[in-house]
Amino acid sequence: MRKYIFIIITLLSLNASAASVIRQAKESLKKKQNLEQTAKNLLAEASKESTSRSDRVECYVLAAECSQKLYEAQNLKLYLKQKYDTAAFYSNILETFRRLEIADSIEEWPDEKGRVRMANRRRSHDILMPFRSNLLNGGKWYFRKVQMKEAFAYLDEYVSNGSHPIFDRDKLLQTDTLMPSAAYLAVVAANASQNPEGVIRNANLAKKAGQKNHLVQEYLAKAYFQKNDTAHWLASLYDGLRDYTSHGYFFSHLIDYYLDAQDTKRALEIADSAISVADTMPLFWYGRSLVLLKQGRDREAIDACDSCLLYAPDHVDALYNKGIASLNLAVIYTEQACTDLTNPQCRRDQEIIRSLYNLAKLPMERVRALEPNNSGRWAPPLYRIYLHLNMGKEFDEIDSILHTQ
């Protein structure tokens, strides 16, 4: 009997604690005093496991009312053209939404008899709906200040509450024409603040805005990469290459992925497929040359480089690949060349070898001209080229550069 009496007394004291906090909160709200501390007390009480479901709901509702009162105080200053705290103005709107949404979700929990009683949903709707546009305004305000983490919080709340049960009757996803553009800004802000979940959550709706959808798809691919979700990452790259072929991000990352995996067959298929869609894109021809070099198909690699250089004469990577492929051919031909000086074929072979070194010389010298400070890239190939072409002055200069590295 004493045990049961102790349990009853304990439960009553716990309920008294919640009741005391709620009573004090109502008094503070009535007097409009200590509202920030009152909200903290309410949230602390709501977080306790001992707080009942109904008391927890009331704590969040009252905490939201504190935020609402604080917002109204800043709004009054704005109306009277007095100095006001813009950050506080917006943050209290955001907190009002978040707290009422939490209260709503708690109310959806069935009680011990399996009943669900939504006592506050209609009231919450009527409180929040007039302020909803200010969530978007707050997001844009932080966006302009390049405070992307903060901007995302507002933009994501604006978009996500479009499907919240509080706003079911408004059918915001169908009626709010600003939702796609808000989602687009949310994606940009999430990407800038390293928030992959935020990108993924808003990307599909963002594309309906029609604003730089290739960037939305790029950010989506980056988000999956950040999450180490290789399957979705690859799928998003393929989707991007299909839908936004001229945006090189998707092609480049697919080629790199398959080259790293030593799957040159698949990499070449991707390059050829891209070229069949857009054969004037220098990047696709360069990608093809890179794969062909990996496969040891040097003559075809040179042809691919020439196609790239036709559309981008100073494409430094294509110039480099052409030089390397020509050097490879020169080395291979040297190994197979006739060495019998009495044989006429020997002279013909030496002329071919010399022509291959000359073929390598021009593009590699152009690489040097375009990237003069990147001697680690062009100096070793030019060393070999000048050596085999007996270009003494040029050879001595490159030799000096290599010895000073």
90/74 Cα distance (integer angstroms): 9
Domain ranges of the chain: 17-109, 131-211, 315-338+345-405
10-residue mean pLDDT profile of the chain (405 residues): values are 44 61 85 84 86 88 92 87 90 96 90 79 94 96 98 98 94 95 98 98 96 96 98 98 96 98 97 96 98 97 98 98 97 80 78 93 97 96 95 94 86
Question: Contact 154/96 with Cβ under 8 angstroms?
Answer: no
| pTM, to two decimals | 0.86
Closest to 282 (Cα-Cα) out of 263, 257, 255, 307:
307
Query: What pLDDT, on the 0 to 100 scale, is given for residue 201?
Result: 97
Closest to 382 (Cα-Cα) out of 372, 368, 403, 400:
368
Query: What pLDDT, on the 0 to 100 scale, is given for residue 340?
Result: 64
Query: What pLDDT, on the 0 to 100 scale, is given for residue 127?
Result: 94
Query: What pLDDT, on the 0 to 100 scale, is given for residue 114?
Result: 77
Query: What pLDDT, on the 0 to 100 scale, is given for residue 14?
Result: 45
Question: Contact 351/392 with Cβ under 8 angstroms?
Answer: no
Query: What pLDDT, on the 0 to 100 scale, is given for residue 32?
Result: 83
Q: How does 161-199 read in b/e, with b if 16+ C-beta sit within 10 Å?
A: bbebbbbeebebeeebeebbbbbbbbbbbbbbbebbebb
Closest to 337 (Cα-Cα) out of 350, 319, 322:
350
Query: What pLDDT, on the 0 to 100 scale, is given for residue 29?
Result: 85
